[in-house]
Structure 1
Amino acid sequence: MKSGARAAQTTAFAPFPTNLDIRDFVNSKENIVFATRITCDSVDEYPLEDLENLIKTHVIRLGKPLVIEGFEDRLNQNLFSADWLRREKGGQREDCRDLVTQQNKKFSIAHYLNSMSTLTEGNVGSRRDLQRIYLKDVDCPDEWHKSLETIIPPFLFYFNDSPKSYAGPGSKYTDLPPLPRTKDNKPIAKAGDLMSSLPEEMRAKNLMCYIGHEGTYTAAHQEMCGTLSQNLMVEASDGTPEGGKTMRPGTSIWLMTETHERPIVSEYWKSVLGHDLDLETHFAKLESWKNAPFTTYVVEQTPGDLVIVPPLSVQQIWNRGTRTMKVAWNRTTVETLRWALDEELSRARAICREESYKNKAIIYYSLEKYSKLLEQDPEQNHPSVNALWDDFEYLFKMFTDILLSESFSAESSTKKVEYLEFTSDVTCSYCRCNIFNRFLTCGGCVDGEEAYDICMDCYVFGRSCKCISKLKWVEQFRWKDLEARHEKWRLQVMSHIAKEGYGMDHPVLSAVRASVTRKSVAEICQEQLRVRPWVDCNKEVKPATPSDSESEEIHGRRTKRRKTNNNQAKDKRVKKKPGEMGRCHTCKYRPIWTLKPCSTCDSQYCYGCLFRLFDLPPEQAMQFPVWECPKCKKICSCSGCNKKANMMEPYIPQEILLGHDTLKVADERSVESLVDLRQSNVGWMKKFQRTKPHFRERRFDKLMRDADEVRKALDETRTVVVEQVIAEQNGLHFDDALADIAQEVYEPINLSVDPSLRLDDTFIATLDPALSYV
C-alpha cells in the first residue's frame, strides 16, 4: 500500500471559535486540565535554586508544562512594543507564512503590523475566504535580546554558559555559598544551555520572534531533538483602539501533552486522526483533543507569561485577537541530549528533518569545556560543583556510546579512511542530519563540487546513492585522538569517584567494546559494503526479474516450479552472487542481499517486511550474527503460517506506518535499497482489526499502561525522597493537602538532594490554587 493509504480518514482543518470560553473547554472533559502557574513575585521570596530545582523536577523529569507569570511588570514597555518595531525595524523585510497556501510572502515589518487589524477582522466569525499571515521565525532584535538577558533567570536563558548576575525574578538571594572560580576568574558551574559549549560559528541560533493575529496558528509539533522550549509573550493588543482602528485583546491558547505520553499521542494521531505527528502538518480541532486518551494541558498565554514546555511534549498554539508578540528559544541540557540520541534523532532521520542542533558535537565540546573547569579541582564541596560533576559523568557515558557506535570491527578493520577536519557543516545527503565523525562518501556521484555523503545510520537502513556500494570511509576526528580524549575524561571521572567513595566503574574503551556482543553501526556498514552490489550509474540497468524456479508467488499469482532431483540439486547447489534473487518468506522474492537468513531454519525475510510487519529495523536485524526468524518464534503473520493457527500467534506491529516519500526530500541522487518508506503497514493493521475485536482499544490500553507505569515509578521515587528529607528536618511537618506539590520540588532518589534546599522554603506557597485553576 503506497503513501496515499491512511489508517483513518484524515481530519480537516477546523479553526478555534472566536468566542471560545477556555474555562468551559477545560471543564468539558476530565483529561483536559490547566497547566500549573507560579508568579514572578513568589519566585522572589525564595532562593533561586528552589526555582531551578522545581523546573528540573516538574518540567524535565515529570514532563509537565509550567507557566511563570508576571513578567509584564519587568519588561521595558517602550522597548517591547509594536511602535518600537515600526520605528526601529519597520523597513526590514521578512518572510511571512501564508498558512492557507503554505507559501512565504515578503512583507516589511511595518506593513505587516499596520495590516493586522484588517487581517484580524477577516478571521472573525464564520468566514472561510480569509488570510492567515503569520510573521514567524524572525530573528530577535539585539535590543530585545540584551534586555531579556537582564530579567530572565540565567539557567533558563538562551545560550547561557554559566551563572551570571541579573535583576529578574529569583535574583534577590541564594542559600548557596559563593561559586568557586578558576584562575582566570571563570565560575565553576554547569551551563544552562549546552549549545553555548559549541564554538560560536557552529551554534544553531534559535532566539526567534513570533507575531500573529486572530486565526494564525502553529500545528501540533514537538521541539527539535527533545530540547526545552521557553516562550515569553512580550506584548499584545489590549482592546483599546490604535490609529483609529478597532483592536481585539490578544492572547494565545496552548494545548500540550506530557513527555511520557508521547507514544500514545503519536498512536492517536495516526490511527484516529490519520496524520503522522512527526511531519508536524496537522492542526487538531478541539473535539479531537477532547476525545484523546491522554491528558491535555491548557494555557491561555497573556503578556508577561513565560511558558516552559517539557521535552517531547506535543504542543499546538492558536493566536487570538489583533496582535500577539512572543519571543521563544530552546535550551539543550544533558537530559535533552539523551532524548535526542535515544529517540529524536532516529525520528528526524526517518522523515529527513534537518538536524540543526549538532547534538553529538555538543556532547564533545561540553566535555572539553567541563573537563577544563574541573581540572581546577576546587577544595570546597560546593553543590554547583557536584552538579557539574554529575553532568560531566552523564555526558561521558553518552560519548562512550557514540564511540562504540563508530568503532570498526576488530577482525576486519578498515585501513583506508580519509581525514576531513571537523567544521560541523557535513550533513547526510539523504536525511540531512549533522554528521559528527565517521561517514561514507561516493567518489562517483559528485554533482559539481558537492559530494554525496551518507551517514552510517542511513546506509544501514539501505539508503545511499545509486551506486549502492564501493563507498569510501571519511572521518572528521582522528580515531586515536578521540580514544585519547575518552581516556583522559575517563580518568577524571574515576578520580572523582575514588575521592567521593561512590559511583559506578567506567572501564577503558577497549574493554567496553569487547564486552558488547552486538555489532556496532560501523561494523554493520563494513559488512554491508562487502555484501551489497555495486551499480554502474553510467550504464542503464534492467530491473531484475525472478525466474519460475526462484518464486512461488509473484504479485499474488502462483507460478509453476521446475522439478529437480533433490540429491542432484544439493550436489549442484552453489552460493548465489550478490544481486541474484532469493525468496522472502512473506513477499516471496527479493534480491538475495536484501534478505536476512534465519540461523535456525532455511527461511529468509526481507528487511522491508521485518520493518513494517515486525517492528524490526534493519540495524537491529543485522546486529547479531545468530538470528531467529518470526516463523521460528511462532509469530509470523503471513497467509501460509496463519493457516497453522494452533501453532502461530501472529505478531501485531506496535507502530502504524502511514508511508512517507522521503525521496522527495533527499538528494536527487538517492535510492532506497532495503526499505521502501513509501509503503505503509495500514493494510496489515486493518487485517488484525478485522480478526481481533477491540484491537485498537487494546493498543491504546497498553500504551496508557506504559505511561502509567512511568508515572508510578516517578511518584514512588519522589515519595521516598521526600520522606527521607522530612526525617532529616527534625520533625518539620507541612499540610498534607500540599504534599503532592512539595514532592515535585525534590530530585529523584538516584540524585543527591541539596541540603541547602529547606523543606519549608519550597514553592508550596507559590502554587496558589487560584493561579493553578484548581
Structure 2
Amino acid sequence: MLRSLPSSTVPAPPPLPDETIDELLARLAANGTAGPFKAVTTIDALTASEAEVLAAVENALSKGVPIVIQNTLKAWFHRSNSKPSGADSDAALFSLGWLRAHASDEPVQLRNVLNGEDVESSMGGFLDYLAKKTPAERRAENNTLYGKDISCPPAWSERAMKCLPEFFKYKGKNDLISLLPAELQPENLMIYVGNEGTLTPGHTDLCGSVGHNLMVYTGDGARAIWFLAESAALSQVSRFWKAQGQSIYGDDYFASVDVLQTAPFDVFVIEQKLGDFVIVPPETAHQVYNKGGINMKLSWNRVTVDSLQRCVERVLSEYRIHMRPEIYRIKTLVHHTVKHMTTRAGPWSADSDLSSRLKFMKDFRSVITSFATIVRDEWIEGEPDRSFLPTPWPDVGQPHMRICDFCRADIWNRGFNCKICASASKSRPLPAENAYAGVQASSLASTSQQASPTTALGSGLDAKTASPPSTPIIKPTRPHDLSEVGEDEFDVCLQCYAQGRSCPHETSMNFHEYVSMRVLSKQLTVAVNAYNAICLEPEQQITQASINELYDGSGPTVPTATIASELFGRRAKEMQVDSKSRCCHACRSSNVPAWTMVFDECGVPYCARCLWSRFGERLFDIKKTRDWKCPKCRGICNCLHCLKNWDRSKKLPFPVPSGDMVLLSEQPHYLEHRHGNVLASDKQCPSGPVFKNGLYLVEEPPAELQLKMRNLKRRIPEAERRPASSRKKSKTVDSARRISVSTPMARRSRPSPELDCLQVKRSFTDPSTESRHRGFDDVASWTPGESSSNGQLSHGTKSARPSNGAFKTRSVANGCEERVPWKDGNQIPRLQPHLDSRSPASVRQQLTEMHLDPAFLKEYFVESMAVVQERSSAWAGVHAETVYRQMMGQ
C-alpha cells in the first residue's frame, strides 16, 4: 500500500536556460567532450541496415553506454505500406489532434514537477490546460504539469510494435515479461506528454531492464535533453547523489548542469528530436528535461536474462533497502523462465547453429544460477518442527500477487500473513490525511490493480482557475480479498520477518507458501539435467555437488527462511535463548525478547539494540553470517567492563553501519499503527555508546550520518503523522505483544505516587535547619510555593517544618518527614517550575535556578533521551551528549 510523498520532500527543479544547453551541445558537437560531459553514439536508420543497427545496439548494451537511433519514423514506419488504424498517416496518428478526438475522456495522472504532487485529470482537460497557459504562467503559478506514465492508446501500440524490428518489440521474443501469466504481466508501454520545464528526475529503470524511448511528436522547437551515466558508474552516481543529500533510488532530485559539472563520472548528453530512438542500458542512471513546445514520446522496457541476473545479485536488495516496489515480479519471472528454457533445451541437436546454441547455453546457465539462489534463500536447513512449516496461502489459486507491507517487495513463494489486521480495518477506516496514492507503482502496475481515478480537470476547465487539486486515491496492494477500502491483510516477506518486522499481532501471524520446496527442488534438478545434456564441454556442466550446497548448510550464509522459521517458532512457543546468560553483555538488560539476543561460540549474549547503537551491526546480518564473532571476542566491545584498559585520552570510534540505511520514518507508506514490531535499526541511526560519568568520550557521527539526521528531522513531521484513531488504538495494544529492543532504563517502572520525588546522591544544606546532609537517603523535590517565587530545591528531614499552607508534611523512608508542595488536595508534580508574573523563562534558565547537581541532570537527560529514541524516531541517531552540551550552552 502506498501514499503520495509529502510535497515538502521534493526540491523544486532548476530551470535549464536555452543558452546554457545550446552552448553545451555546440561544444559536444565540435569536440565530443566538455569536462565530464560526453557526446553519445548515434546511428542513422535511413543509411544503416537493420542488421547494422542491431549490431551497434548490442555492442552499446554490452558496454553499458546509451545509443541513439535517428530517423526511425522515416526508416521503419514510413516503409510500411499499410495505413495506421484510425488515421491517414503516422503524423496524423501520433498527434495532439488524434488524442483529443479519440482519448479526450481518458483519465490521466499528471505530475506537478515543482512540488512532486500527483494530479488526476482527463486527457482533454490536460490538453486544454496546456493550450491556455504559457510555460511562464504555469511556473509562476507553481503548477508545471507533466503527463508521464500515461497508458498508451491501443492504436499507437499496435502501430509501433508492427513497424519496429522484432529485437525491440514490447513483450516480444526478446522480452521475458511475455513468459508471465497474463494477470501478472505489468503494463509498462507508456506515453509521455512533455512541455517546457517538465522533467524526469535522476533514476534508473526498474529491475535492470533495458529502456526504450521513441519521440513520435514535437511542437514548435520541442526537444528533450538527456543526461546519462554508463551502467558501470552506478555506484559512483549513488555516492554523488548522496553527497547532494539525495538518493538515486528516490526519483525526486534533478541535478542541474552546474552540479553535473563536478561529477566524478562521464555524463552522456542527448538532444532527442522527432524520430530519435533512445536505448538506455540496464542500471543506467539518467534524467530528462523537456524544452520548447509540446513533445510526445513512447516509452517501454524489456526484461532480459541479464536483467534477471542483475536483480538477483544486487538490484532487488537495493530496492528492499530503499523500500522501492519492483513491479516486474522478478523471482516469479525467474521461475517461469527456468521452466520455459528447460522445455526449449530439448530440441537442440548437434547440427544446430553453433552461435545460437552457445548463447542459449550461456543464458540458460545464468537463469539456473539465479533460480538456485532464490530457492536456497527460501530453504529451511536442519530438521524444523513440522508444526512450524508453512501452509498453503489462502489465494493459492492466484499465486504471486502479494506485496510485502513493509519493504514493498513482491512475495514470490513463502511469507507471513495476519488476518487480524484485515478484520481490525473494518472498524478503523483511514482518515483523509493518511490515504494512499500510487506515486510510482500505480503507473506501472497491472491494469487489474488500478483503481478508477477521479477526474480533477474537466475538458472545459477555465484557464484562470486551473489550479489542479491533489486528491489522493486508494491503491490496494492486491486486487482481491479486500475487506474494505483502506487497509487489507498484513503481508510480510521472508526477509522482513527474519529482520524482526511484523504487525502488532506477531504471535498470531501465519506462515504460508505457494509452491512446496520439494517441487521447486525437483524443477531445479530437471533444469540442471537439461542444461548438462546440451552442454558442449564437460567442464562447463553443473555438478551435483554444487546443487547439494544449496541444502546441506555448507554455504557461507544462512538462508533467510531458516532465520525466519526459527523466529516464527520462538514467537509461537516463547522459546528462550540457549546462551549461558539472558543478560546482555553491553547494557546488562535481561528484559529483551529471546529472538533479539545473539551470541557466538563463547556464549556471551548481545541484544539487538546494543549491537546496532554501539557497533552499527544489524541483527539480521549477524544471523546470516555463519562465522560471526561477538564484539568481545573481536576485542572491540565498548562496554564499561571491557574498557578498563582503554586510553581515556582517546575517543571511542562512532559505530558506522555497513551498507545503506533508510529509516522507516522516511518512508511515505509507513504507518506506525500497523508496523507494530520493528527493531531499532528500522527507526534510528546508530547512536554510539553513551557514558553518563564522562569518563569516556565518543567520536562525533560521520558527516554522512549527520546529513541523514538533518534530513530525517526535516521529513518526520509529514512521515510520522498518525491518524487520530490509531493513537487511541496504540494505547490499548497489549504491550507484551509489541516487541521492541530497548535499554534497561526504558523498562524501569515509575516510582510510586507516595514517593513522587527525586533521590539524589549529593551534598546539600537544608535551608530550614542549616544542617549538612549527604547520601541516597536524602529526598529532594522541586517545591515551588508562595514563599519562594523562583522555586528552590528543598530536602526533607525529621526537623523539616512547613513554612506556609502551600506545603504538607508526610513521612518518607527511614522515618524521615518531608515537605511536599500541595494544592487543592493534590501534590504538585515534581520538577515543575513555579510560574510567576515575570516573563516566561527559558528551559536553560529554569534548570539553572533549580540548582540541580550537574552530574544528576546529565544522567537524567541521557536516560530520558534513550527512552525517547526508543519510542519515536524524532531524535533518531542524535548524539545525546552533544545535545546536552548545546542545551546547557556549553
Aligned to 1:58: 60
Aligned to 2:669: 665
Offset from partner CA, 1:260-314 (integer Å, 9 cap, x none): 22222222222x2112332221222222111222221111111111111122222
1:297 aligns with 2:283: no
Query: Does the C-alpha gap of structure 1 residues 114 and 664 become closer, same or farther in structure 2, counting only changes over 3 Å?
Result: closer
Query: Does the C-alpha gap of structure 1 residues 464 and 689 become closer, same or farther in structure 2, counting only changes over 3 Å?
Result: closer
Of 149, 152, 166, the residue aligned with 2:164 is 152
C-alpha deviation, 1:131, in angstroms: 2.3
% identity of equivalent residues: 24
Deviates more, 1:11-20 or 1:587-596: 587-596
- TM-score, L = length of structure 1: 0.69
CA–CA distance in 2 between the matches of 1:312 and 1:368? Answer: 26
1:235 aligns with 2:217: yes
Aligned to 2:532: 494
Aligned to 2:176: 194
CA–CA distance in 1 between the matches of 2:290 and 2:590? Answer: 53
Aligned to 2:45: 40
Q: Counterpart of 1:368 in 2: which secondary structure?
A: helix
C-alpha deviation, 1:354, in angstroms: 2.4
Of 363, 368, 375, the residue aligned with 1:396 is 368
1:695-706 mapped onto 2 (5 Å cutoff): none
CA–CA distance in 1 between the matches of 2:64 and 2:249? Answer: 19
1:526 aligns with 2:540: no
CA–CA distance in 2 between the matches of 1:664 and 1:376? Answer: 50
Aligned to 2:136: 122
Query: Does the C-alpha gap of structure 1 residues 598 and 584 become closer, same or farther in structure 2, counting only changes over 3 Å?
Result: farther
Of 402, 407, 416, the residue aligned with 1:440 is 416
Q: Counterpart of 1:220 in 2: which secondary structure?
A: strand
Offset from partner CA, 1:340-379 (integer Å, 9 cap, x none): 1222222222333223101011111112222222222345
Structure 2 unaligned spans of 5+: 1-8, 78-89, 427-482, 690-697, 705-890
1:473 aligns with 2:511: yes
1:356 aligns with 2:327: yes
1:739-754 mapped onto 2 (5 Å cutoff): none
Aligned to 2:544: 507
Of 223, 233, 254, the residue aligned with 1:261 is 233
Q: Counterpart of 1:232 in 2: which secondary structure?
A: strand
CA–CA distance in 1 between the matches of 2:654 and 2:603? Answer: 18
Larger radius of gyration: 2
Contact 1:636 1:649 in 2 (8 A): no
Aligned to 2:195: 213
CA–CA distance in 2 between the matches of 1:148 and 1:83? Answer: 18
1:81 aligns with 2:95: yes
Contact 1:220 1:282 in 2 (8 A): yes
Contact 1:119 1:131 in 2 (8 A): no
1:103 aligns with 2:117: yes
CA–CA distance in 1 between the matches of 2:113 and 2:581? Answer: 57
Q: Which amino acid aligns with 1:426?
A: R
Contact 1:637 1:651 in 2 (8 A): no
Contact 1:460 1:618 in 2 (8 A): no
Offset from partner CA, 1:718-748 (integer Å, 9 cap, x none): xxxxxxxxxxxxxxxxxxxxxxxxxxxxxxx
Contact 2:65 2:280 in 1 (8 A): yes
CA–CA distance in 2 between the matches of 1:97 and 1:683? Answer: 41
Aligned to 2:16: 16
Aligned to 1:424: 400
Q: Counterpart of 1:677 in 2: which secondary structure?
A: helix
Contact 1:459 1:525 in 2 (8 A): yes
1:677 aligns with 2:714: no
1:302-381 mapped onto 2 (5 Å cutoff): 302-381=273-352
CA–CA distance in 2 between the matches of 1:607 and 1:334? Answer: 41
Contact 1:464 1:671 in 2 (8 A): yes
Deviates more, 1:204-213 or 1:87-96: 87-96
CA–CA distance in 1 between the matches of 2:662 and 2:519? Answer: 43
C-alpha deviation, 1:657, in angstroms: 3.7
C-alpha deviation, 1:105, in angstroms: 3.0
CA–CA distance in 2 between the matches of 1:330 and 1:114? Answer: 30
RMSD over equivalenced CA pairs, Å? 3.6
1:685-724 mapped onto 2 (5 Å cutoff): 687=700
Contact 2:403 2:409 in 1 (8 A): yes
CA–CA distance in 2 between the matches of 1:596 and 1:97? Answer: 47
Offset from partner CA, 1:173-221 (integer Å, 9 cap, x none): xxxxxxxxxxxxxxxxxxx111111112210110000001101111111
Contact 2:614 2:638 in 1 (8 A): no
CA–CA distance in 2 between the matches of 1:277 and 1:134? Answer: 20
C-alpha deviation, 1:625, in angstroms: 4.6
Aligned to 2:728: none
C-alpha deviation, 1:457, in angstroms: 0.8
Offset from partner CA, 1:442-462 (integer Å, 9 cap, x none): 354443544322110111222
Aligned to 1:71: 72
Query: Does the C-alpha gap of structure 1 residues 285 and 154 become closer, same or farther in structure 2, counting only changes over 3 Å?
Result: same
Contact 1:267 1:655 in 2 (8 A): no
1:718-737 mapped onto 2 (5 Å cutoff): none
CA–CA distance in 2 between the matches of 1:335 and 1:118? Answer: 46
Q: Counterpart of 1:477 in 2: which secondary structure?
A: coil
Structure 1 unaligned spans of 5+: 1-8, 162-191, 240-248, 536-572, 692-774
Q: Counterpart of 1:150 in 2: which secondary structure?
A: helix
1:203 aligns with 2:241: no
CA–CA distance in 2 between the matches of 1:521 and 1:314? Answer: 30
Query: Does the C-alpha gap of structure 1 residues 397 and 586 become closer, same or farther in structure 2, counting only changes over 3 Å?
Result: farther
Offset from partner CA, 1:85-133 (integer Å, 9 cap, x none): 2222223232222233433334332332243244443269xx6434211
Contact 1:352 1:666 in 2 (8 A): no
Offset from partner CA, 1:681-729 (integer Å, 9 cap, x none): 59999936589xxxxxxxxxxxxxxxxxxxxxxxxxxxxxxxxxxxxxx
Aligned to 1:708: none
Contact 2:109 2:121 in 1 (8 A): yes
Contact 2:415 2:511 in 1 (8 A): yes
C-alpha deviation, 1:654, in angstroms: 5.5
CA–CA distance in 2 between the matches of 1:599 and 1:69? Answer: 64
1:137 aligns with 2:137: no
Query: Does the C-alpha gap of structure 1 residues 413 and 35 become closer, same or farther in structure 2, counting only changes over 3 Å?
Result: farther
Offset from partner CA, 1:117-161 (integer Å, 9 cap, x none): 44443269xx64342111111111111112111332222221112
Deviates more, 1:433-442 or 1:199-208: 433-442
Offset from partner CA, 1:379-418 (integer Å, 9 cap, x none): 5321334322321221111111111111112232545431
Q: Counterpart of 1:336 in 2: which secondary structure?
A: helix
CA–CA distance in 1 between the matches of 2:18 and 2:573? Answer: 60
Contact 2:654 2:699 in 1 (8 A): no
Q: Counterpart of 2:676 in 1: which secondary structure?
A: strand
C-alpha deviation, 1:474, in angstroms: 1.0
C-alpha deviation, 1:11, in angstroms: 7.0
Contact 2:46 2:72 in 1 (8 A): no
Q: Counterpart of 1:233 in 2: which secondary structure?
A: strand
Offset from partner CA, 1:34-71 (integer Å, 9 cap, x none): 22212213441xx62x5445434422x42211111111
- TM-score, L = length of structure 2: 0.61
Q: Which amino acid aligns with 2:103?
A: K
Q: Which amino acid aligns with 1:410?
A: G
C-alpha deviation, 1:621, in angstroms: 0.8
Q: Counterpart of 2:215 in 1: which secondary structure?
A: strand
Q: Counterpart of 1:380 in 2: which secondary structure?
A: coil
CA–CA distance in 1 between the matches of 2:340 and 2:378? Answer: 23
Contact 2:213 2:298 in 1 (8 A): yes
CA–CA distance in 1 between the matches of 2:635 and 2:14? Answer: 46
Contact 2:528 2:542 in 1 (8 A): no
CA–CA distance in 1 between the matches of 2:132 and 2:257? Answer: 26
Query: Does the C-alpha gap of structure 1 residues 502 and 54 become closer, same or farther in structure 2, counting only changes over 3 Å?
Result: farther
CA–CA distance in 2 between the matches of 1:588 and 1:656? Answer: 30
1:411 aligns with 2:424: no
Q: Which amino acid aligns with 2:374?
A: I
- The number of residue pairs the alignment matches comes to 594
CA–CA distance in 2 between the matches of 1:33 and 1:630? Answer: 48
Query: Does the C-alpha gap of structure 1 residues 105 and 429 become closer, same or farther in structure 2, counting only changes over 3 Å?
Result: closer
